[in-house]
Amino acid sequence: MATKHIVERNFSRHAGCYDAHTAVQKAIGARLVERLGLRSFGSILDVGCGTGSYTSLLHERYAAARIKGIDLSAEMVKVARDKLEGPGIEFMVGDAETATFDTPFDLITSNACFHWFSKLEETIAKCASALTEDGALVFSSLGPRTFWELGACLDAVLPAHRPISASAFVGRSELEAVLRRHFACVTVAEETMVEEYRSLLELLNTIKYAGARGSGLDGVALTKTLLNDLETEYRRRFGGIIATYQVFYGQGWKKGTECV
Q: Where are the domains of the chain?
A: 4-144+168-192+245-253
Which pLDDT score is estimated for 216?
Answer: 55
Higher pLDDT, 77 or 260: 77
Of the candidates 118, 71, 76, the one whose C-alpha atom is nearest the C-alpha of residue 95 is: 71
Which pLDDT score is estimated for 61?
Answer: 95
Residue 1, pLDDT > 50, answer no
Most confident segment among 1-15, 71-85, 197-211: 71-85
CA distances from 164 to 47, 92, 107, 108 (A): 24, 30, 32, 29
Find the range with the poorest average confidence among 1-15, 30-44, 183-197.
Answer: 1-15
Find the range with the poorest average confidence among 70-74, 134-138, 217-221.
Answer: 217-221
Fold of 4-144+168-192+245-253: Rossmann fold (3.40.50)
Q: What percent of the chain has pLDDT over 90?
A: 69
| Pair 159, 101: CB distance under 8 Å | no
Residue 111, pLDDT > 80, answer yes
| Pair 70, 50: CB distance under 8 Å | no
Angstrom distance (rounded) from CA 138 to CA 43: 14
Which pLDDT score is estimated for 162?
Answer: 81
